Structure 1
Amino acid sequence: MDFDQAHRLWLDTHRKRRSGERKDRLERGHGHGEQLFLRNVWWPLRGDLDHLHPEYEISDWRGRPYFADFAWLTEAVKLIIEVKGFGPHVRDMDRTMYSRELNREVFLQAIGYRVVSLSYDDVERQPEICIMLLRMLLSRFEVSGQQADLPKLALKSTLLQAVQLGRPIRPKDVEAQLGVNHRTAVRYLQQLCELGAVVRGGAVYLLAGSLLR
C-alpha cells in the first residue's frame, strides 16, 4: 500500500469515529501542512500511520479544548506533534497568544505528553532534518525485549549522549551513562565510527582520535 492509499484509509477511519465539532475540526484542521508532514516526514520515517491521531483533542489547564496537529499514542510514549508555520505562529502572534502557546506546551508536558514542534519550512524543504531528529527521539521509546537488540540500543543511547554533551564524547562518558566497563565503552564508540555516525555542527561530533583518551 502506498502513501496515498494509506492516508485515505487512515483519514476515513478517523472520520467515522468522530462526530460534531471533533469531526468538523478534523475536516478543517487536517490541511496542507499536516498532509505534507505525513508525506515528507512521517511516512518515510515509519512506513505506516499506526497509533497516529490527527487533530487530537486535549483540554488545556483552563478546561478549554485544544486540538493538536497529531498525537502518537503508544504504550511507551504520548507524543504531541505540531507543524508550525512562521506566519501564524510567529509573525502574526501577539504577546497574549505567544504566552498562551508556551503555557499550553508546559501544561501538556506536565500531564505526561512529549511535545515536538516542527517548522513548516523544514517539513517542506528539509524533511531529512525532521526525520533525523524524530528518529533520534523515537528510538528512546522503541525498546525490544529481545536480548539480541541490546547492543543496538546501547549504540543509539551512545549517539544520543554524544549529541547532548556538546563536545567530543569519551569512553568514560559512555561508562557513566551505560554502566559498562572501559573496553565495552571503547567498542561502542568504535562501532559508531565504523557505521559513519558523525554529528556535525558546533562542537557536537565524534572524534576517532579522542576515543582512547
Structure 2
Amino acid sequence: MTFEEAHEQFISGHLNSRPEGERKARLERGHRHAEVLFLKNIWWPLRRQFTELHSEYEVLDWRGRSYFADFAWLPGYVKLLIEIKGFATHVRDMDRNKYCGELNRETFLYAMGYHVISFAYDDVEQRPELCMTLLRMVLGKYQPAEAPVSRIRLLEQEVIRLTLHLARPIRPQDVKQHFSIDYRTAVRTLRSLSDKGWLLPVATDQQERIARYELNHGVLEYFN
C-alpha cells in the first residue's frame, strides 16, 4: 500500500468515527500541510502504518477548554502527544500570554499522564532523518523492538541512555548500581561501547587507568 492510499484510509476512518460538530470540523480543516508532511516524511517511513495514531486529538486543559493536539499515539497505556511547530506561529507571532498559556498547558497535560513532544516544521521538511531518529528513541521506550535484539545490545542501549541522563562521564560503578550487574560486566560493556566509538575513555588524573567514559559526538546514530 502506498502512503497516499494509507493516508486516505487513515483520515477517512477518523472522519467517519467522529460525530458532527467541532471535532469533525477540526479534523477537516486542521489536518494541513505540516501534519501531512510529518506523516509522509517521518511517521510512514518509520512505522509503515497508522495504527493507534490519531489526528487532531482533543483533550481538555486546566480551564476545561478544548485543545487539539496535531497527533496522539495511544497504544493502550501510553498517551503521547505530537506537535509540529512552525517558526511563524509558535515563535515569531507569539506574545507573552500565549507563551505562558502554552507552557502551562504542557505542564498540565504532563500531570494528566500525557507526554508531549514537538518537532520543528523546518526539521520535518529538511531534516526528516533526525526527526525519525528522535521519534524512534521515544517510541522505543514504550514497545519492544520488532526484530529480535540481543541482551548485550539492549544493555548497551540503556547504558547510552543512562550516560545521557547522568550528564557527566559514566563510571563502571554507575552501570553496576543502576542495572544490578557485577562490576566486571559493567567494565566490559563500557569498553565495548568505547571500542565501537560510542563512548570515549577519560583518563583519571595522574593515572593511565581508564575509570570514566563520556559520550562521543553523533551518538544519535547509535539508535538508527
TM-score bin, normalised by smaller chain: 0.7 to 0.9
Matches within 5 A, 1:157-168: 157-168=158-169
Task: Indicate the residue corresponding to 2:8 in structure 1.
Answer: 8
**What pairs up with 1:55-204 in 2 under 5 angstroms?**
55-143=56-144, 150-193=151-194, 196=196, 198=198
Equivalent position amino acid for 2:31 in 1 = H
Task: Name the CA shift for 1:153/1:75 in 2 (closer, same or farther; >3 Å).
Answer: farther
Q: 1:197 to 1:54 in 2, by over 3 A?
A: farther
When the two chains are superposed, the root-mean-square deviation of aligned CA atoms in Å is: 2.2
In structure 1, give the amino acid aligned to 2:200. L
Unaligned runs of 5+ in 2: 204-208, 212-224
Pairs aligned (count): 203
In 2, the alpha carbon distance for the partners of 1:83 and 1:182 equals 44
Question: Is the Cα contact below 8 Å between 1:79 and 1:113 reproduced in 2?
Answer: yes
Which residue pairs with 1:203 in the alignment?
A: none
Judged with a 3 Å threshold, the aligned counterparts in structure 2 of structure 1 residues 95 and 9 are, in CA distance, closer, same or farther, namely: same
Structure 1 stretch displaced more, 37-46 or 167-176: 167-176
Query: TM-score with structure 2 length normalisation?
Result: 0.82
Unaligned runs of 5+ in 1: 199-205
| Aligned residue identity for 1:14 | H
Letter in 1 for 2:128: P
Shift of 1:57: 0.3
TM-score, with length taken from structure 1: 0.86
Larger Rg: 2
1:17-28 alignment runs, 5 A limit: 17-19=17-19, 20-28=21-29
Q: Deviations over 1:111-148 (max 9, x none)?
A: 0001101111111111122111122222121147xx97
C-alpha spacing 1:191/1:46, structure 2 compared with 1 (3 Å): farther
Cα distance, 1:53–1:193 mapped onto 2, change above 3 Å: farther
Contact 1:143 1:153 in 2 (8 A): no
- Amino acid of the residue matched to residue 105 of structure 1? E
Give the match for residue 200 of structure 2: 207
Aligned-pair identity (%): 51
